Amino acid sequence: MTLNVVILAAGQGSRMRSDLPKVLHSVGGCPMVAHVIAAANALEPSKIVIVYGHGGDLVKQAIHGDNLIWAEQAEQKGTGHAVMQALPHLDSASTTLILYGDVPLIKSSTLAELAASAGDRPALLTALLSDPTGYGRVVRSVSGEFERVVEQKDACPQELTINEVNTGVLAVPTDLLMRYLPQVGNSNAQGEYYLPDILPMALQEGLSVNTVAVSDALETEGVNTKVQLAKLERAYQARIVEDLMSAGLSCADPARLDIRGKVTVGRDCFVDVNVVFEGDVVLGDNVVIEPNSLIRSSTIGSGTRICAMSHLEDAVVGENATIGPFARLRPGTRLANKTKIGNFVETKKAVLGEGSKVNHLSYIGDAQLGANVNVGAGTITCNYDGANKFVTTMGDNVFIGSNSTLVAPVEIETDGFVGAGSVVTKTVNQGELAIGRAKQRNISGWKRPVKEAK
């Protein structure tokens, strides 16, 4: 049967104390609602309807997808009312899966089990909680059959002792949903239209309500405060890091590795403490990442070591290279095998050939370096004239002496040599030595300044 998905994302989230719509607060560097969409998309639904309200324009700007349909809930009158806004977009001959945009840890495997359990009747996802405070309780018959959901504010003392709760996640044949929802009333303590009120209607028609108990209650935990957001962030990180460790990653402390994107690792990689991965990151085999480094949207070749306090963004690093400590590789940096970028070196749109190295205190931007180039400390490429960027080119086996300034556009050909302290403004031909510095004068009898007496 065709699957439709409805994601409720209209809540204001006033307890978040934020101007940002609640569902756009991030877990693992990604908006919560995007996690829910990804879990739903794994089931290959024909459409996903997002019910939006507070901050809807911001939500639309942040979330994209070819199969997304938007339905506005101008007034928040409960979950039943929210799903009513999605009804015109649903296929009657489908199963509708109803999810929540602030429940980011839900797994696609759980949703697949729930959808399969629905068939021609509703199926409800439940959870067993040691402290069910705040949740609607699942009331069962003496024989254990589902009877109804009672919200906490409407529950009697005996019902409040029940620890099986309604997660709110439902799979319902859409034709039933279309018949039942208009009949839902709001005669309750909140004066709202509750989605679970459709379940007794199914029972009255002689249909049973299937239930699926989630194995990990964190999957269905929602976010209403920043404290809860932080809790789910740590749970998410633990889940992702555990998956990576199963794939061969070793961590000094899994609790001090943060992943805000997608990371692919080879065998025998090691990551020390306080490392952050963002975007798409790929590590080859035997890569070592030392403490307090940020790796964003980069590929690191096998055998490479990223030393402490280094920052890589949109960089490609070859095999058996060494980066840092305190190095910054900016977007467009491409380093071949056996290269070295040392401490306090910054690169941008720099391509280094095999074996080349920039060891200390240098800026190499908009540059093409051949193989086995050695760039001395304090060297900079002057790539910007205030309006345009220009390229510095170095052939193989070039040596740049310390404290040199290379004013682009300029080329140092193969085997070229630049003396320390030089300002280079024109081509250095193959095998030439370039020296561009003022002649030294030594003044005899010079008197060192002394402080004046006060």
- pLDDT at residue number 64: 86
- Give 164's strand partners: 128
**H or E segment and range at residue 62:** helix 56-62
Give dist(CA 23, CA 56) in Å, integer. 10
Give dist(CA 45, CA 69) in Å, integer. 12
- The token pair at 65 is 């997808």
> Counting Cβ atoms within 10 Å, is residue 435 exposed (0-12), middle (13-18) or buried (19+)?
middle
pTM: 0.89
Task: Report the Cα–Cα distance between both ends of the chain, in Å, rounded.
Answer: 95
Out of 25, 35, 89, 360, which one is annotated catalytic? 360
- pLDDT at residue number 299: 98
- 360 as an active site residue: the answer is yes
- Mean pLDDT for each consecutive 10-residue tract of the chain (454 residues)? 93 87 95 97 96 90 90 90 96 96 97 94 95 92 91 91 94 96 86 90 93 94 94 96 94 97 96 98 98 98 98 98 98 98 98 97 98 98 94 98 97 98 97 93 90 84
- pLDDT at residue number 1: 72
**H or E segment and range at residue 137:** strand 137-140
**Which domains, and CATH codes, for the chain?**
2-220 (3.90.550.10), 226-434 (2.160.10.10)
Among 59, 68, 70, 60, residue whose Cα is nearest residue 22: 59
- pLDDT at residue number 8: 96
Among 99, 86, 81, residue whose Cα is nearest residue 169: 99
316 SS3 class: strand
- pLDDT at residue number 440: 86
Give dist(CA 168, CA 105) in Å, integer. 14
Give dist(CA 174, CA 408) in Å, integer. 66
Among 171, 167, 168, residue whose Cα is nearest residue 43: 171
- pLDDT at residue number 281: 98
Give dist(CA 227, CA 248) in Å, integer. 32
- pLDDT at residue number 310: 98
